[in-house]
Amino acid sequence: MRILVTGGAGFLGSHLCDRLIEQGHDVLCLDNYFTGAKKNVEQLIGNPKFELIRHDVTEPILLEVDRIYNLACPASPVHYQYNPVKTIKTSVLGAVNMLGLAKRVKARILQASTSEVYGDPNIHPQVEEYWGNVNPIGIRSCYDEGKRTAETLFMDYHRQNKVDIRIVRIFNTYGPRMNPNDGRVVSNFIVQALRNENITVYGDGLQTRSFCFESDLIEAILRTMEQTERCEPINIGNPTEFTILELAEKVISLTGSKSKIIREPLPSDDPKQRKPDISKAQKILGWQPKVHLEEGLKRTIEYFRSCV
Ligand code: NAD
Ligand code: UDP
C-alpha cells in the first residue's frame, strides 16, 4: 500500500515509518520539523519506497494514498504550550485536512489521540467510555481540547461521510529517538542523570503515569489500523503504574548517576493519576505490551548515551 504518516519525522512517527517500510509498503513521511528531525528517518532516506515531504498539516495537500496515520502534533507539554494557538490549529485544521484527503481518495485514516482527552481523571483506570475531566481554558487545553475536537471530527466524518476511521488514545510512551530537549519526563530524567545534573521532580512526585515502550505502541497502532471490528477510540498503553518519584529513582539506579532529586513547582492542571484500562485492545487487537519499564529504560538510556 501507499501510506501517509503525518508527523513521520517525530519520535513515534519515525518508528512507524520504519515498521511500514519493513512490511514492504510505500511510505510518504510528512512533517514540518517543529519537534521532529530528518535525523530520525535518515536510515530511510534514499530508499525508493520512502519519500519525505516538508509540509504543515494546517494547510491542505493533494496526495493519492491508501492509508493515513495522522500523528502530526507536538506531544510534550513544553512544546505544545510554546505556541498554543498553533497547537490547536494543528490538531483541528490538521484533522480537517487529513479527513478531507481520506474522504476524497477513500483512504482509511487513523488518528493519534491521547490519554489527555481524559484530563485529570476521576475514574481510575481510564476506560474508553469515560468522558473525561478536562479544563477547557487552562494551559494544557490547547492540546487536550484540540485532540478532543479532532476525535469529534473523526467521528462526524465517519457518520456523515462514511470515512473509514480508527482512533487510538495513546498513554505516555517513551523510547529511543525522543528529542533530548523534548521536556517530557522520561527524556528529562535520563538526560539529567547522564549529565549528573539535578533530577527535576515536579510537585511531590506522587502523581502517577503508566509508561509504554515505543515498539509495543507501534505494534498496537498497526493492528488497530488493520482490524475491521472497531472505529471508535481504543486505549493503547502499558497499564503498569508508577509514581514520578519511583521513575526518578529507577533512572538514577539504572544510569549509576550521582544526580540528586530536587523539587520544582507542579505545572497547573497536571493530572494526578493515569493508567489505561486496555481490555478493549487486548480483546480486539489480541495485543498487550511486552516490554517492562526497566528493560525499556535500559534501551532508552543506551540511545541517550550516544547523543548527550
Ligand atoms: P513528536 O513531537 O516527537 O512528534 C510529532 C511530530 O509532528 C514531529 O515530527 C513534528 O515536527 C510534527 N508536527 C508538529 N506539528 C506539525 C504540523 N503542523 N504539520 C506537520 N507536522 C507537524 O511526538 P510523538 O511522541 O512522536 O507524538 C506523535 C503523536 O502521538 C502526536 O500526535 C501525539 O499527540 C500523540 N501522542 C503521543 C504520546 C506519547 O507519549 N509519545 C502520548 C499521547 C499521544
Ligand atoms: N515531570 C517531572 N519532571 C520533569 C518533567 C515532567 O516531574 O522534568 C512530571 C510532570 O509534572 C507530570 C509527569 O512527570 O506529572 C509526566 O509529564 P510529561 O510531561 O512527560 O507528560 P504528561 O503525562 O504530563 O503529558
Task: Tell me the pLDDT of the chain (308 aa) as tens digits.
Answer: 999 999 999 999 999 999 999 999 999 999 999 999 999 999 999 999 999 999 999 999 999 999 999 999 999 999 999 999 999 999 999 999 999 999 999 999 999 999 999 999 999 999 999 999 999 999 999 999 999 999 999 999 999 999 999 999 999 999 999 999 999 999 999 999 999 999 999 999 999 999 999 999 999 999 999 999 989 999 999 999 999 999 999 999 999 999 999 999 999 999 999 999 999 999 999 999 999 999 999 999 999 999 88
Establish whether 82 is a catalytic residue. Answer: no
Q: What share of the chain is helix, strand, coil (3-state, %, to 5)?
A: 40, 20, 40
Reported pTM = 0.98
Name the phi and psi angles at 175, rounded to 5.
155, 180
Does 218 sit in the ligand 2 pocket, CB within 6 Å?
Answer: no
Q: Which of 69, 80, 143, 174 is catalytic?
A: 143
Q: What is the pLDDT of residue 92?
A: 98
Does 255 sit in the ligand 2 pocket, CB within 6 Å?
Answer: no
Residue with cell 507501534: 218
Does 176 sit in the ligand 1 pocket, CB within 6 Å?
Answer: no
- Hey, which CATH number is domain 2-177+211-239+274-290, 3.40.50.720, 3.40.50.800, 3.30.565.10, 3.40.50.970? 3.40.50.720
Does 74 sit in the ligand 1 pocket, CB within 6 Å?
Answer: yes
Q: Which atom of ligand 1 is nearest to the CA of 9?
A: 9
Q: What is the pLDDT of residue 307?
A: 87
How far apart CA 308 and CA 306 sit, in angstroms, is: 6
How far apart CA 183 and CA 178 sit, in angstroms, is: 10
Pocket residue to mutate for ligand 2, from 182, 202, 297, most atoms within 8 A of Cβ: 202
Q: What is the pLDDT of residue 308?
A: 82
162: left (phi over 0), alpha (psi -120 to 50) or beta: left
Atom 24, ligand 2: residue with shortest CA distance = 270
Q: What is the pLDDT of residue 43?
A: 98
**Distance set, CA 85 to CA 79, 81, 92, 133 (Å):** 12, 9, 11, 21
How far apart CA 282 and CA 288 sit, in angstroms, is: 6
Q: How far is CA 211 from the centre of its chain?
A: 12
- Give 7's contacts (C-beta < 8 A, 6+ positions apart): 13, 30, 31, 36, 70, 71, 72, 73, 112
Short-list 72, 115, 124, CA closest to 236: 115
